[in-house]
Structure 1
Amino acid sequence: MGRYVLRRLLQLIPVFLGTTFLIYALVWAIPQDPFAGKCGQRPCDPNYIAEMSQKLNLNDPLLVQYFKYLGNLITGDFGTTFNGVSVGEQISTSWPITLKMGLIALVIEAIIGITAGILTGLRKQGFLDNLVLVSTLFLISLPVFVTGFVLRLYLGPQGFDIMDTSVSSDPTIGELILPGFVLGSLSMAYVARLTRTSIVENRRADYVRTAIAKGQPQTRVVGIHLLRNSLIPVITFLGTDLGSLMGGAIVTEGVFNINGIGGLIFRGIQEKEGIMVTGIVTLLVLVYLLASLLVDLLYAVLDPRIRYE
């Protein structure tokens, strides 16, 4: 197992280099003036342009720019924006909020989605099965901002006043439950359908029928034989979904006025702050890579037939 982990970590290095270089090139290789509109209606001062070009290494070839940026990134320096704001400080303030909300969304979609998928997979063609299929189809068809707006309107003080839907600048876990549910609602529907399909397919497998023929209890057949093998595609989806949740939090954070990574990405794109966008997307790439490694390791836990040499 240790040798496999080391080999997978080494494999992540060229993937990280390739993806981050592609991101950097897409942001900085576009033929446009990076200082357009940075100084209001008037053109920027040549001294300011020269200073920022040197600080951002804009005078160097693209490949040299990238490796200089990568060297600073390794030391924890994400650079500064055209306004002199530290990208690292902005990320350190907003990142924990979005990470917390993303993990809450992941837990909610895993618990509700897997539970619904198991119940409907074991009792297909029943009332509960039809109810879950219709509910998940409804969630899939609704945009996330509509789900967030409706829940905030009807659950908040303007509606039935069931819960406080406001989110503070330093939100607690309780304040992020509703935004986390909204963020993970679409993925929750996919998890429920994926779990149901996997359960239905594996119920007809030979090892399940053999376990039933041996007279093993229903709980053991479902929990040990059926569920562990059926969860492999679900775990794969959940592992890669964490990065998608954090990268796609722009709409949810906008609905609930949350100062997270999504807002930073939106402002970075709007204000054409390439250094901000590059730093945040690079961080999301790391989340994707580490999540994929964790998923690979969980395969051996779920399926005893999988062994890493």
Structure 2
Amino acid sequence: MGRYVLRRLLQLIPVFIGTTFIIYCLVWALPGDPFAGRCGDRPCPPAYIAEMTEKYNLNDPVYVQYFKYLWQLLQGDFGDTYSGLAVNELVGNAYPITIRLAIVALVIEAVIGIGAGILAGLRGRGFLDSLVFMSTLFLISLPVFVTGFVLQVLLGTEWGLIRPSVSSQATWGELIVPGLVLGSLSMAYVSRLMRTSMIENKRADYVRTATAKGLHPRRVVGVHLLRNSMIPVITFLGTDLGALMGGAIVTEGIFNIRGIGGLIYDAVLTKEGTTVTGIVTLLVLVYLLMNLLVDLLYAVLDPRIRYA
């Protein structure tokens, strides 16, 4: 297992360099004036353009720019915005909120989605299976902004059960409803994936063997059937965490959450390339580390899998 972890960690290095280089090129190497509109309606003075060009190494070839930026990243420096604010500080203020929101959404979609999928898979075709199918189809057909707006109006404005807008502290309790909105679509997919996996594994030879040995049905389901059925679900949940952290722009906008989503949106509007590059680089790291964690969990869930 140790060799496998080391090999996977070494494989992350070229993947990280390749993806971040593409991101850097997409942000900085595209044609156009990066300082357009920085000085209002009038064009920026030549002295300002020369200073900013020197600061962001825009006179160098793009690969030289990238490796200078990569060296800054290795030192923990994500650079500064055009207005002089440190990207580290901006990310440090917004990232913890988005992490809490993503964790709440992941827990909600895992608990409800897996639970509904297990019940539907064990019961087979019937009322419960049909109810789960219709519920997931309803969630998939609804855009996230519609779900968020409806819950905000009903629970916040009409019934007064929650605050329509999340406070600046963004406590765990305040993020439950936004997390439900953010994870609603993935929750439907998790439920369907778990149901399909349970039905397929119910007909597997190892399940019939465990039943023939006289094991208790709870042990057959909990130890044998459930562990192997969880493998595709774990894969989905692991990769979905990065998507939840990067795709919370709409949810954060509806509930006025000051997280990474709003920071990315503002940076794109104002063409703050340093902020966009730094945030997307962090999301790449999250994806890579979650994929590594998912691979390691395979050996725990399925004893047939052995890593040399």
| TM-score normalised by L of structure 1 | 0.98
For 1:162 and 1:95, the matched residues in 2 are separated by 27
In the alignment, is the contact (CA less than 8 A) between 2:104 and 2:175 conserved in 1? yes
Q: Counterpart of 2:174? A: 175
CA deviations 1:48-69 (Å, max 9, x no partner) are 1111111111110000000000
Q: Counterpart of 1:225? A: 224
For 1:133 and 1:21, the matched residues in 2 are separated by 42
For 2:46 and 2:229, the matched residues in 1 are separated by 62
For 2:23 and 2:304, the matched residues in 1 are separated by 38
Q: Counterpart of 2:196? A: 197
RMSD in angstroms over aligned alpha carbons?
A: 0.8
Q: Measure how far apart 1:164 and its partner are.
A: 3.1
Q: Counterpart of 1:59? A: 59
Q: Measure how far apart 1:161 and its partner are.
A: 2.2
Q: Counterpart of 1:30? A: 30
Q: Measure how far apart 1:163 and its partner are.
A: 2.9
Is 1:46 the counterpart of 2:39? The answer is no
Q: Counterpart of 1:259? A: 258
For 2:23 and 2:164, the matched residues in 1 are separated by 36
Structure 2 runs not aligned, ≥5 long: none
Deviation beyond 4 Å, 4+ runs, structure 1: none
Matching of residues 89-168 of structure 1 within 5 Å: 89-156=89-156, 158-168=157-167
Give secondary structure in 2 for the equivalent of 1:186.
helix
In the alignment, is the contact (CA less than 8 A) between 1:165 and 1:175 conserved in 2? no
For 1:108 and 1:161, the matched residues in 2 are separated by 22
Q: Measure how far apart 1:118 and its partner are.
A: 0.2
For 1:70 and 1:163, the matched residues in 2 are separated by 43
The letter for the 2-side match of 1:221 is V
The letter for the 1-side match of 2:119 is L
In the alignment, is the contact (CA less than 8 A) between 2:238 and 2:291 conserved in 1? yes
CA deviations 1:50-92 (Å, max 9, x no partner) are 1111111111000000000000011111111111111111000
Q: Measure how far apart 1:160 and its partner are.
A: 2.0
The letter for the 2-side match of 1:112 is I
For 2:147 and 2:4, the matched residues in 1 are separated by 42
The letter for the 2-side match of 1:7 is R
CA deviations 1:188-244 (Å, max 9, x no partner) are 000000000000010000110111111110100000110000000000000000000
Q: Counterpart of 2:286? A: 287
For 1:139 and 1:52, the matched residues in 2 are separated by 47
Q: Counterpart of 1:236? A: 235
The letter for the 2-side match of 1:9 is L
Q: Counterpart of 2:304? A: 305
Q: Counterpart of 2:8? A: 8
Give secondary structure in 1 for the equivalent of 2:134.
helix
In the alignment, is the contact (CA less than 8 A) between 1:191 and 1:234 conserved in 2? yes
In the alignment, is the contact (CA less than 8 A) between 1:165 and 1:178 conserved in 2? no
Q: Measure how far apart 1:162 and its partner are.
A: 2.6
Q: Measure how far apart 1:247 and its partner are.
A: 0.8
Give secondary structure in 2 for the equivalent of 1:170.
coil
| TM-score normalised by L of structure 2 | 0.99
For 1:97 and 1:106, the matched residues in 2 are separated by 14
For 2:91 and 2:183, the matched residues in 1 are separated by 22
Q: Measure how far apart 1:2 and its partner are.
A: 1.2
The letter for the 1-side match of 2:23 is I
In the alignment, is the contact (CA less than 8 A) between 2:109 and 2:184 conserved in 1? yes
